[in-house]
Amino acid sequence: MHSLPYANYPPFISREQEEYVLSTIKDWSIQHGLTVRPSSSFVPGEVDKSGVLATTAPVTLFPSPFPESCFRQAHFLQTTYNELYAAISNDEVWIEEVMKGLIEVDDFIKNLWKVHQSVKEEGYVQQLSLGLFRSDYMLHAPSSHELPSLRQVEFNTISSSFGGLSALVTSLHTHLLTFTDPSAHLAYPNHPLFEAREAGSANSNSQALPSDATINVPPVNDAVQVLQTGLSAAHEAYASSKSEPKLPLCILFLVQDHERNIFDQLALSSTLKFPVFRLLTSQILSHTSIDPDNHLRPLVYTPPSSPATRFEVTTIYLRALYAPAEYTSAESWSARLHLERSAAIKCPGVLSQLAGCKKVQQVLTSISPDHVRRFLPNASQSTLSSLRSTFAPQYDLNPNSEGLAIALDESRAANHVLKPQREGGGNNIYRTAIPGFLKSLPSKEHYRSYILMELIHPPAEAKNTVLRSDGTVISGNVISELGVFGACLWRQGERTGDGATRSGFEILHNEGGGYLMRTKGKDSDEGGVAAGFSCLDSVLLY
């Protein structure tokens, strides 16, 4: 019988300690770039006309407890998950089969698919694909006495964010726990969770502490290295310029206008050992070009401040174009097609983006046919079991299906969440609102755009205090999500005659590591950190 540490955590701190923690966070975050641009609801545009202000990223005052076994499992599984989604991205036949129903009813999915079809028709000139992934989990803890288990919330194949800032939060919490030394208790009083764990517990960060360490600190967060190593692997695999004459090589970070989360992106780009430029989605067609006479289709970037200078793009990293709302016109889709048909390595390509749909996640839970086994022919039975143990029960809403029966029955729906296929939070329907919502849809055709997932029950007694970006401080019950980052570079296989298999599919780089702990108030069922509902956190293993 294991007693979970949530009921008595975090420890009570005095007003003076809270003041110390808050002022440390406010100063440390600005000094170290753990920052975001302020929202217009906090700082009106007329105050900061030229956009010079920044504020601390939303963070928890305390790191959150997390079971070591679950943390290790999530890290152990990452390279297998990377391989799974690389293999899915490699199988357009399977994706089309899974997506067919959606392509018919969802314009966004349809347009993505059309981009792929169009490039396929012309012929892809780049066989390499890069995935910078993040697999997100919650703890499922139906009982307060059993150790929680890991349940996957979603697998992000595009614009997996917060690797940069998350690593900084780990450093911030470590600083709060260890300055000047643990016994000084400047920030926090004693708590069993802060005490060093027995030797032999595989705390991967033990090497980061002095040998006489007497304190439990968050595990080292390698997110930046893992993501940067992935980008470097792609950049190097691109090899050399395909232009005549040859051009210098660069990477592009494709970003949104008015990005508040820019410092997360800069944490990745600014220390790479080759040129990286930021490109707004609105500037794709004006600042990049493909010479129609070069059948290799290198993507050429011209920096607006130096029109005579040209770079060839090895890798285009999308921190944008993941949500339907970003495609405001036909030109947006032309721009996406333009990138997809270029020789640049896409992170991700359109097929990888489609592989991240909730529908795929749901179909993978099937045992018969056993898709996971097929995509991971070399994985051991125990690895597959571990992977499958992270799947939450989930269903499609086909006519006469089990899923539809649950979704339309208020009492059975009460333990479920209805999710649209698309990336990005904010659109989930919860519990007893599900039947009414489904009935309000214009037709049953639209049911295909959703999947139904059994609710995950995170530790009910988890509490924390958060500092929001506008400076307000809120304490209360919280829900946390752990994301583990992965980087995978693969070569797409060639289709064989029957189109069902591919030869030549090859994984060139596969690494997992680094984490994002995201904590939100329990009242809000939804929350992306960037939207201001939730906060960046780190973990204390127990």
Burial of 408 (0-12, 13-18, 19+ CB in 10 A): middle
Choose one: 4-12, 21-29, 69-77, 352-360; the region binding its own copies (CB under 8 A): 21-29
Residue 451 has, within 13 A of its CA and on its CB side, a CA count of 25
Query: Exposure of 523 by Cβ count < 10 A (0-12 exposed, 13-18 middle, 19+ buried)?
Result: exposed
Applying CB under 8 A, does 17 fall inside the site for its own copies?
yes
Site for its own copies contains 44 (CB under 8 A): yes
Q: Is 455 annotated as a binding residue?
A: yes
Query: Is 474 a residue that touches its own copies (CB under 8 A)?
Result: no
Residue placing its CB nearer to its own copies in the complex, 179 or 373: 179
Q: Does 51 bind its own copies (CB under 8 A)?
A: yes
Q: Using the rule CB under 8 A, which residue among 103, 186, 213, 507 binds its own copies?
A: 186
Closest to its own copies by CB, 135 vs 534, is 534
Own/partner contacts of 18-26, CB < 8 Å, gap of 24 or more, are 18/61, 18/465, 18/473, 20/186, 20/187, 21/61, 21/176, 21/187, 21/188, 22/61, 22/467, 22/473, 24/175, 24/176, 24/187, 25/56, 25/59, 25/61, 25/172, 25/176, 25/467, 26/56, 26/467
- When asked if residue 41 is in the footprint of its own copies (CB under 8 A), the reply is no
Structure-token match 């489609």, residue found = 354
Shortest Cβ 228–its own copies spacing (Å): 15
User: Is there a contact between 268 and 231 (Cβ–Cβ < 8 Å)?
Assistant: yes
Please say if 161 is a catalytic residue.
yes
Element of type H or E holding 374: helix 371-375
Q: 292: annotated binding-site residue?
A: no
Query: 411-449: string of b/e by CB count within 10 Å (b at 16+)?
Result: eebeebbbbbbbbbbeebbeeeebbeebeeeeeeeebbb
Q: If binding is defined by CB under 8 A, does position 32 make contact with its own copies?
A: yes
| Backbone phi, psi, residue 477, to 5° | -70, 145
> Catalytic: which of 83, 92, 154, 259?
154
**Under the criterion CB under 8 A, does residue 382 sit at the interface with its own copies?**
no
270 binds its own copies (CB under 8 A): yes
The count of residues interacting with its own copies (CB under 8 A) is 58
Q: What do you get for the CA distance between the two ends of the chain, in Å? A: 14
Instruction: Rank residues 473 and 500 by Cβ distance to its own copies and give the closer one.
Output: 473
Q: Is 154 a catalytic site residue?
A: yes
Would you say 387 and 77 are in contact if contact means Cβ atoms under 8 Å apart? yes
Catalytic entry in 297, 319, 346, 518: 518
Toward its own copies, which CB reaches closer, 12 or 104?
A: 12
Contact 509, 487 (CB under 8 A): yes
Catalytic residue (one of 82, 111, 160, 161): 161
Under rule CB under 8 A, which residues in 402-421 are in contact with its own copies? none
- Interaction with its own copies in 189-248: which residues (CB under 8 A)? 248
The size of the chain, in residues, is 542
Question: Which listed residue (55, 126, 256, 332) binds its own copies by CB under 8 A?
Answer: 55
Element containing residue 473 per DSSP (H, E)? strand 473-491
**14 lies in the binding site for its own copies (CB under 8 A):** yes
Strands 311-318 and 299-301: antiparallel
With 0-12 / 13-18 / 19 or more C-beta atoms within 10 angstroms meaning exposed / middle / buried, residue 238 is buried
Residue 257 touching its own copies (CB under 8 A) = no
Select 196 or 266, whichever has its Cβ closest to its own copies.
Answer: 266
Least distance from its own copies to the Cβ atom of residue 29, Å = 8
- CA angle 194–14–470, rounded 5-degree value: 90
Q: Is 358 considered catalytic here?
A: yes
**Which of residues 40 and 380 has its CB atom nearest to its own copies in the complex?**
40
Tell me, yes or no, if 134 is annotated catalytic: yes
Q: Which of 8, 205, 386, 424 is catalytic?
A: 424
- Is residue 19 a contact residue for its own copies (CB under 8 A)? yes
Among 6, 9, 56, 152, binds its own copies (CB under 8 A): 56
| Closest distance of CB 440 from its own copies, Å | 40
How far is 92 from 492, CA to CA, in rounded Å?
Answer: 10
Residue 46 binds its own copies, judged by CB under 8 A? no
Tokens describing residue 146:
């059993």
Region at 192 (left for phi over 0; alpha for psi -120 to 50; beta for the rest): alpha
- Binder to its own copies among 109, 132, 187, 351 (CB under 8 A)? 187
Instruction: Report the residue number, 1 or 184, with the smaller CB distance to its own copies.
Output: 184
Residue type, 214: T
Say whether 424 is catalytic.
Answer: yes
Query: How far is residue 6's CA from residue 433's CA, in Å, rounded to a whole number?
Result: 30
Verify binding: residue 272, its own copies, rule CB under 8 A.
Answer: no
Least distance CB 303 / its own copies (angstroms): 5
Of 5 and 63, which has the nearer Cβ to its own copies? Answer: 63
SS3 486: strand
219 three-class SS = coil
Within the chain, what is the greatest distance between any pair of CA atoms? 72
400 contributes a contact to its own copies by CB under 8 A: no
266 contributes a contact to its own copies by CB under 8 A: yes
The distance of closest approach from Cβ of residue 7 to its own copies in the complex, given in angstroms and rounded to an integer, is 25
**Sole window of 87-95, 299-307, 367-375, 436-444 interacting with its own copies (rule: CB under 8 A):** 299-307
* DSSP element (H, E) containing 97: helix 92-105
User: Which positions touch its own copies (CB under 8 A)?
Assistant: 14, 16-17, 19-22, 26-28, 30-33, 35, 38, 42-44, 47-56, 179-180, 183-187, 248, 250, 262-263, 266-267, 270, 275, 303-309, 311, 467, 469-473
Known binding residues for ATP are 358, 419-428, 430, 453-456, 481, 520, 526
Known binding residues for substrate are 265, 518
Known binding residues are 265, 358, 419-428, 430, 453-456, 481, 518, 520, 526
Which residues are known to be catalytic? 134, 154, 156, 161, 358, 419, 423-424, 518
